[in-house]
Amino acid sequence: MYLTQEKKDEIFGKYGKDKNDTGSAEGQIALFTHRINHLTGHLKQNRKDFNTERSLVKLVGKRRSLLDYLIKKDITRYRAIVKELGLRK
């Protein structure tokens, strides 16, 4: 399994308030970004895996929705998470 509980705790600890803060938008965006990066690497090797491609598109949509929520709620938190994760170039 590519995403262990320790890795989740590390992601939520770094981007959320603490490792048990799984509901914060920043933590969820960071987790989705990790999963998106993993699936992107998988699709580079297996380009005909359409189920994974569909999952990737759904994850990108979920992350986009959370980013839209965060930009409306608090633009400074949005800018901080985008800069930290390197989502915009």
What is the tens place of the pLDDT at every residue in 40-51? 999 999 999 999
d(CA 53, CA 28): 20
Residue 33's domain spans which residues? Answer: 24-85
What is the tens place of the pLDDT at every residue in 4-34? 999 999 999 999 888 888 899 999 999 999 9
CB 20 within 8 A of CB 65: no
Cβ-Cβ contacts under 8 Å for 89 (sequence gap 6 or more):
none
pLDDT, average across residues 67-79? 96
Q: Is 89's pLDDT higher than 80?
A: no
Would you say how long the chain is, in residues? 89
Per cent of the chain over pLDDT 90 is: 85
In the chain, the number of structural domains is 1
State whether residue 23 is helix, strand or coil: coil
Tell me, what CATH number does 41's domain have? Answer: 1.10.287.10
